[in-house]
Amino acid sequence: MAGLSHHTASLAELEDFRFDDEEAFLTAARQRFKGVVLFQTCNRIEILVHGEAGTLTAFLHETGRERFDILEGVDVLRHLLRVAAGVDSMIIGEDQILGQLKRAWTASQEAGSSDEITDLCMKKAVHVGVEVRRRTRINRGAVSIGSAAVALAEDLLSSLEGRHILVVGSGEMGMLVAQALAAKDLTAIYVANRTYERAVVLAEKIGGKAVNFGELRRYITLSDVVITCTSAPHAVITRDLMAGVMKERCWPLDGHPRPIVVIDIAQPRDVEAEAGGVDGVSLYTIDNLRDVNEHTLAERRSEADQAEAFIESELTRFIGLLNSASAEEVLRMLHTWAETIRVRERDRALSRLQGCRDDVPAVIDDLTRVLTKKLLIDATFSIRSCAEQGQMDEADRLLNAITRGNRSCFRKDD
């Protein structure tokens, strides 16, 4: 697994690392790896592959990505379970990560880039994520990135009572923001989205007002807080737009604009960084939510500790499952090799039996199948045993010795 997360990368670094065309990335990656899953959220971009770390490093360098973290083997499995459990999230215990993992897995399957191993990894991760939340209270009263943004706005303004707030974007994150706002004593909640019908649906759920995207400037002008979280690939709120807005928000006597708080939790960002330089605009991004995580972590440390203990216990089972799957892969190669030889020799024998009874071909076919199976019993047992114990090098050596007649595969002390 390779990638970046909020632990080691800034928002700008995450944006630079992001793959805008996920389908194109998966199409290219599946030419190099047996299985690939691309996982992109606001706080992490990670690539899980069934393949070699060196190959993954080289592949990412070819895409222009130079700086990233890389994990191998058991470290990948542990990390994947921690991510699914919510203990590696910026907001400890948040639930959105499970849905995001499922969508990444589905995208991989639809692109034809998943395989038995990556499917097993994702299935196990989702299972552990669900179980952690069932066995602990790690997500009890948990805040999402969306509700953390609302908490930040409340902290900045001391109170949201009587305020006008605009939510730009009505996807999953927009829904979380709107739900958090609905619990506050606001004068007005506006919901803007490029697809007006979706804005209407969300606004009706929270008792807000749907806004046509073409009226965005007007409703920014009316608002005290703007929280934006669209999936647009480019900025939807520019410096020029905010400059125009702030001119319309000037105090009647001294000419200074009424201040406005803009919180951008989109990835990639919805608001141009330069917009924060406009007089009266206080711009915040996901990077500013890190303090919320520290507070959340302190409150949920005991629950997180329980989750970590469960993850370690599941890790042993996870490794066993993967080793068993790897064993099946090696054994398929062995039996495919044997079947090729069996069919070839059967056909040669049948070609020499001219004028034989009609039942002879079936008898010979059954005989060759039984002989092949019996001859491979010991080899199958040895290869499976090695693989299930994680000794994949041993399993590969046995396979090569049988299928390639490679005596050098054996050590002197074998």
Q: Tell me the catalytic residues.
A: 42
Q: Is 147 annotated as a binding-site member? A: no
User: 169 a known binding residue?
Assistant: yes
* The one-letter amino acid at 127: H
Q: Is 146 annotated as a binding residue?
A: no
Question: What are the angstrom distances between the C-alpha of 170 and each of 195, 214, 231, 232, 233?
Answer: 9, 15, 10, 12, 16
Q: Is 89 annotated as a binding residue?
A: yes
* 174 annotated as ligand-binding: yes
Distance CA 238, CA 261 (A): 15
Which phi and psi (to 5°) does residue 4 adopt?
-135, 155
Q: Is 317 annotated as a binding residue?
A: no
Is 229 labelled as part of a ligand binding site? no
Both structure tokens of 278: 């406009």
- The answer to whether the annotation marks 131 as part of a ligand binding site is no
Q: Is 133 annotated as a binding residue?
A: no
> Would the annotation count 173 as a binding residue?
yes
Report how far apart, in Å, the C-alpha atoms of 62 and of each of 25, 28, 29 are. Answer: 12, 11, 11
How many helices (H) and strands (E) the chain has is answered by 15, 10
* Strand arrangement, sheet containing 225-228: 209-212, 188-193, 164-168, 225-228, 260-264, 281-285
Angle at 35 between CA 71 and CA 315, to 5 degrees: 50
91, 96, 98, 102 alpha-carbon torsion, rounded to 10°: -140
44 a known binding residue? yes
At residue 161, φ and ψ (nearest 5 deg) are -60, 130
User: Is 207 annotated as ligand-binding?
Assistant: no
Question: What are the residues whose beta carbons fall under 8 Å from the beta carbon of 412, sequence distance 6 or more?
Answer: none
**Does residue 261 contact residue 267 with C-beta atoms inside 8 Å?**
no
Token output for 14:
């995450």
Whether 281 and 242 have beta carbons less than 8 Å apart is answered as yes
Does 356 show up as a binding residue in the annotation?
Answer: no
Could you tell me which residues are annotated as the binding site for substrate? 41-44, 89, 94-96, 100
Annotated binding-site residues for NADP(+) read 169-174
Question: Which residues are annotated binding-site positions?
Answer: 41-44, 89, 94-96, 100, 169-174
